Amino acid sequence: MKTRAAVMWQETGKFEIDELELDGPKDGEVLVRFDYAGLCHTDEHLRNGDLGFTPPMVGGHEGSGVVEEVGAGVTHIRPGDHFVTSWMPSCGRCRFCVTGQTNLCDNGQYLMAGKMLDGTQRLHGRGCGVGCVDLLGTFSQWNVIPAACVVVLEPHIPLDAAAITACGVPTGWGSAVYAARTRPGDNIVIYGIGGIGINAVQGAVHAGAELVVAIDPVEFKRDMALKLGATHAFADPAEAHEFVWSHTRGVGADAAIITVGLVDKQVVNDGFAMIRKGGRLVVTAVSNPDLRIEIPSFELTLYQKEIVGSLFGSGNPHYDIRNLINHYMNGRLKLDELITRRYSLDDVNKGYDDMLDGINIRGLLEITH
CA angle 208, 210, 215 (to 5 degrees): 105
Residue 285 half-sphere exposure, CB side, CA atoms within 13 Å? 31
Share of the chain above pLDDT 90, in %: 94
Total Cβ atoms within 10 A of residue 277 = 11
Q: What is the pLDDT of residue 52?
A: 75
Share of the chain above pLDDT 70, in %: 100
List Cβ neighbours of 320 (8 Å cut-off, separation of 6 or more): 170, 173, 174, 312, 313
Q: Quick check: 90 pLDDT over 90?
A: yes
Q: Name residue 321's amino acid.
A: I
Q: What is the pLDDT of residue 124?
A: 98
Percent of residues in the chain assigned helix, strand, coil, to nearest 5: 35, 25, 40
pLDDT tens, position by position, 179-236: 999 999 999 999 999 999 999 999 999 999 999 999 999 999 999 999 999 999 999 9
Q: Quick check: 50 pLDDT over 90?
A: no
3-state secondary structure of 177: helix
Q: What is the pLDDT of residue 99?
A: 96
Q: Quick check: 54 pLDDT over 90?
A: no
| Residue 136 banded pLDDT, cuts 50, 70, 90 | very high
DSSP 67-108: EEEE-TT--S--TT-EEEE-S----S-SHHHHTT-GGG-GGG
Instruction: State how far the Cα of 364 lies from the Cα of 342, in Å rounded to an integer.
Output: 5
Q: Which of 31, 271, 18 is nearest to 145 (CA)?
A: 31
Q: What is the pTM of this model?
A: 0.95
Are residues 172 and 284 in contact, defined by beta-carbon separation less than 8 angstroms?
Answer: yes
pLDDT tens, position by position, 149-190: 999 999 999 999 999 999 999 999 999 999 999 999 999 999
Residue 103 half-sphere exposure, CB side, CA atoms within 13 Å? 20
Q: What is the pLDDT of residue 288?
A: 83
Q: Quick check: 48 pLDDT over 90?
A: no
Instruction: State how far the Cα of 96 lies from the Cα of 103, in Å rounded to an integer.
Output: 8
Domains of the chain by start residue, with CATH: 2-166+335-366 (3.90.180.10), 172-311 (3.40.50.720)
Q: Quick check: 37 pLDDT over 80?
A: yes
Phi and psi dihedrals of 212, rounded to 5? Answer: -125, 105
Number of H helices, E strands in the chain: 11, 18
Q: What is the pLDDT of residue 182?
A: 98
